[in-house]
Structure 1
């Protein structure tokens, strides 16, 4: 019977590798020492396999990606250090076992062999999310085999259930393993961060690490989604998969270090795995929490959001276009305005379509037609399928009349949306969007959407919205 010997949370900044940093790595020397401490611990445990969960391999919206060739290798050439090379043999039997067990939990896994990678146009080299942690491990120990996993944009309870599948597959094997959850924390820690700044970045880092140190799985899974989104992290799902793999076990997490001089949070955590405990079997409660959250969201819907959801559910399930009910608020039946309907799944955009100015007889009809378009005709996504409906969240933006803007100084991406126009070309960006923190970012994205070059003449308008969510 195999077992999970220990788990580790490790960041993956390429600059920490001396061949990349060329001295700049001194700014995160504490992180480097902590990662070396993890490597020493792994060397003492001598696992048969290292299971690494990374955000930077091939990412699927609805599946976990498992590398399934005989070996995987990569280098840091894209960071001007091609001499830093790492190669591992893949444990194909354990990888297949994980995928098989995950299917019992209704989790889809994409097994990426050569044919699959060719079909999806995927690079077969090891990503830096795996390379950087393994760079430190390699200095102390080379495991016989690697299991390389890239998380997908699944819900947290699905990611947790996948971790449980990893645990079960390991225990049904004869392999002793360690798990590395690769991921950086907030990317918005300082004003000079390339991703922008928010004080919520540090709040996120401190809260997550505090909950980990307390082994508070329920607290981590139920963290405020808005806080997570604002932090712009890339490690949350890796960590939740790791916690799922420890479901039913006592464990203690020791935060070895946390720093962020480059505006990105680097947290290193060593997790010791203890004995089995019925009290620590949390998968069912994690699932129940998700269902309770979705019920709370549904119960709190206002008429605008409820109409968008009912429209999509009826159209996807029955192929019918509903008509505005007479019981809707008067303003939805008498007012005319442009409307955008946005649909999210597991915190990720799943569709967004709208009209700059009114096309239909009232706001209600505008919502109905744009909700159908957002769910089935957004060119960025495949049409929504019936089995997704229960996991979707909706928002409706009713646009107020736009006004001309004379300079970029009159823009505020948190308060105003923006419209750029040149001839028949136009691009619109709604206000208060995640990752859009400056007028320059807002304007750049709107120009790209319109197909307008920045050096071309164009007009700018701004507008406010009534947001319903």
Structure 2
């Protein structure tokens, strides 16, 4: 059972004290929850992290897997150049993911952006994971303009590739929710439905096509969450929503999904 599970985390750089300089106190629930899931990840001792970020190599109909043997990144763009991380890539797993995805009809590979710099959608989660002692290689996966079913299939291919290689894999879905609140200050209904799906582990809501008027409420994380759902296809999971808060007009959720076995009914896309 190489798929250990998944963690879902937001990536506002202000979570880090080096960037927030006190502003992170407004995100205390989120920060505590991320530290908790990072600690759990360390206890699982994964061989590899499959990190999905909406800020990594975005293309309309192509899923980009970052090339090379590894990458480094810092938070200079957010006023903290001293926060610098480096990670290696699991190149063998990357190749098998690409091969399986291509056989599933998904345009996937390392062509396109060759930037060796980690985006903040990867750097922020790795900051907490590294501090918790998780320093294994990663596979860095971008989202695309394709629909929910394609993202789900990619996640399924990633999990199958890890299983084929015997990797104890943990998927990290990096993404924020809404970028705004409703006029009365309430949480958008679409965001409430997404967080309810995360809390229950019933991912059908994540796979609904988002109408244009709701896309802000879905935030920059929904496609990453769809890949996560695919990686957990056919697996029974113990879901745990650790936090959900919405400071400054943005929605941040932190969740943990531990794989506990197989469950045929947990196939939300028949493909």
- Normalised to the residue count of structure 1, the TM-score between the two structures is 0.56
Give the secondary-structure state (helix, strand or coil) at the position aligned to 1:41: helix
Residue 279 and residue 227 in structure 1: after superposition, are their counterparts in 2 closer, same or farther (change >3 A)? farther
Note the alpha carbon deviations across 1:341-367, whole angstroms, 9 max, x for none.
xxxxxxxxxxxxxxxxxxxxxxxxxxx
Is 2:72 the partner of 1:73? yes
Residue 157 of structure 2: SS of its match in structure 1? helix
Following TM superposition, by how much is the alpha carbon of 1:226 offset from its aligned partner in structure 2, in angstroms? 4.5
Residue aligning to 2:201: 215
Do the aligned partners of 2:5 and 2:237 also contact (CA within 8 Å) in 1? no
Q: CA deviation at 1:262?
A: 1.5
Q: How many residues are paired up?
A: 271
Residues 42-441 of structure 1: pairs in structure 2 closer than 5 A? 42-112=41-111, 116-117=112-113, 123-189=115-181, 201-222=187-208, 225-226=211-212, 228-231=214-217, 233-284=219-270
Asked if structure 2 preserves the Cα contact closer than 8 Å seen for 1:67 and 1:111, the reply is yes
Give the CA deviation at 1:163.
0.7
Q: How far apart are residue 227 of structure 1 and its match?
A: 5.6
Deviations 1:207-238 (A, max 9, x none): 11111222222233126534632425100000
Aligned partners of 1:238, 1:256: CA distance in 2, in Å? 18
SS in 2 for 1:278: coil
Structure 1 segments (4+ residues) deviating >6 Å = none
Question: How far 1:106 moved relative to its partner?
Answer: 0.4
- 1:432 matched residue in structure 2: none
CA deviations on 1:157-191 (whole Å, 9 max, x unpaired) are: 01111111011101100210111100000001266
SS at 1:188 equivalent: coil
Q: Distance in 1 between matches of 2:218 and 2:172?
A: 21
Distance 1:206 1:160 in 2: 21
Q: What's the CA shift for 1:198?
A: 8.1
Asked if the contact 1:65–1:110 (Cα under 8 Å) also holds between the matched residues in 2, the reply is yes
Runs of 5+ unmatched residues, structure 1: 192-196, 288-469
Question: In structure 2, do the counterparts of structure 1 residues 211 and 232 end up closer, same or farther at CA, with 3 Å as the change threshold?
Answer: closer
Answer whether contact 1:48 1:143 (CA < 8 A) is retained. no
Distance 2:168 2:87 in 1: 17
Report the TM-score when normalising by structure 2.
Answer: 0.94
- Structure 1 Cα separation of the partners of residues 77 and 174 of structure 2: 19
How much is the aligned-residue C-alpha RMSD, in angstroms?
1.8
User: What secondary structure, in the 3-state scheme, does the structure 1 residue paired with 2:6 have?
Assistant: strand
- Structure 1 CA distance, aligned partners of 2:115 and 2:235? 36
Q: Distance in 2 between matches of 1:142 and 1:231?
A: 31
In 2, the alpha carbon distance for the partners of 1:7 and 1:128 equals 19
Decide whether the 8 Å contact of 2:244 with 2:253 is kept in 1.
yes
Change (3 A) 1:224 1:69: closer
Partner SS for 1:283: coil
Over 3 Å counting, the alpha-carbon distance change for 1:36 and 1:65 in structure 2 is same
8 Å contact from structure 2 (residues 179, 216) kept in 1: no
Contact 1:74 1:125 in 2 (8 A): yes
Structure 2: state its 5+ residue gaps. Answer: none
Per-residue deviation, residues 393-422 of structure 1 (Å, max 9, x unmatched): xxxxxxxxxxxxxxxxxxxxxxxxxxxxxx
d(CA) in 2 for partners of 1:44, 1:198 = 39
Q: CA deviation at 1:143?
A: 2.7
The alignment partner of 1:262 has SS state of helix
Q: Is the 8 A contact 2:191 2:218 kept in 1?
A: no
Q: What's the offset of the Cα at 1:278?
A: 1.6
Q: Distance in 1 between matches of 2:241 and 2:142?
A: 24
Inter-partner Cα distance in structure 2 for 1:230 and 1:45: 34
